[in-house]
Amino acid sequence: MIEVFPTGMAGLLHLRAKTYADERGRFMETFNAKEFAEKTGITAPFVQDNESRSKAGVLRGLHLQMAPHTQAKLVRVVKGAAMDVCVDLRPDSATRGKHFMLRLDDLANDMLYIPEGFAHGFLALEDDTVFTYKCSAYYAPATERTILWNDPDLNIPWGIDDPVVSSKDLQGTYYRDFAAGS
């Protein structure tokens, strides 16, 4: 059972899974294709699951894949906590260039469905944060793009000045250059 909450961006959905808890612990169904389609109207054929494990202060992103390998994602934190950020890059979107942030952690059961056309990244807020995501297309390195996490035009308030970022992510492009090329 999931609840769906609007985000103010078309297609970007904040979801919350129902949890059943007792003295033994807790149980939740994290994905059910039939219910997902009924509640969201989306029949995302997920083909790949990914998982990352990060130390506190690690920032991953902002990533996306271009056509013909665009990806929708369903993301959540299994252990720890992360600040998740989605940036709308869709050319005809009223919210193009805007971002949405949501804290995801292993207690609240929140998830995000990120449609195609969004760049995505997250900042691990705790050591040993485990982040999982379902993808609607296979990873295709030739079509992967990165927007700089600290792009001044996006002005994302990550809450950290000096995160641990991969060398690949440090070589990302500015939003204005990405937008001009699309």
**What contacts 103, CB < 8 A, 6 or more positions away?**
81, 82, 83, 84, 110, 125
Q: Which residues span the domain enclosing 112?
A: 45-181
Q: Which of 27, 19, 77 has its CA nearest to residue 53?
A: 77
Whether residue 12 is contained in a domain is answered as: no
pTM for the model? 0.94
According to the model, what pLDDT value does residue 182 have?
A: 53
Whether residue 36 is contained in a domain is answered as: no
Per-residue pLDDT of the chain (182 residues; tens, 9 = 90+): 789 999 999 999 999 999 888 999 989 888 999 999 999 999 878 999 999 999 999 999 999 999 999 999 999 999 999 999 999 999 999 999 999 999 999 999 899 999 999 999 999 999 999 999 999 999 999 999 999 999 999 999 999 999 999 999 999 999 999 987 75
Whether residue 67 is contained in a domain is answered as: yes
78 touches 135 (CB < 8 A): no
Sheet holding 2-6, edge to edge: 2-6, 13-17, 110-114, 73-79, 129-135, 48-54
Separation of alpha carbons 130 and 74, rounded Å = 14
Domain count, the chain: 1
Q: What is the CATH number of the domain that holds 88?
A: 2.60.120.10
Whether residue 24 is contained in a domain is answered as: no
According to the model, what pLDDT value does residue 61 have?
A: 93
Three-state DSSP state, 182: coil
Separation of alpha carbons 116 and 114, rounded Å = 7
The set of catalytic residues is 63, 133
Separation of alpha carbons 78 and 122, rounded Å = 14
Whether residue 31 is contained in a domain is answered as: no
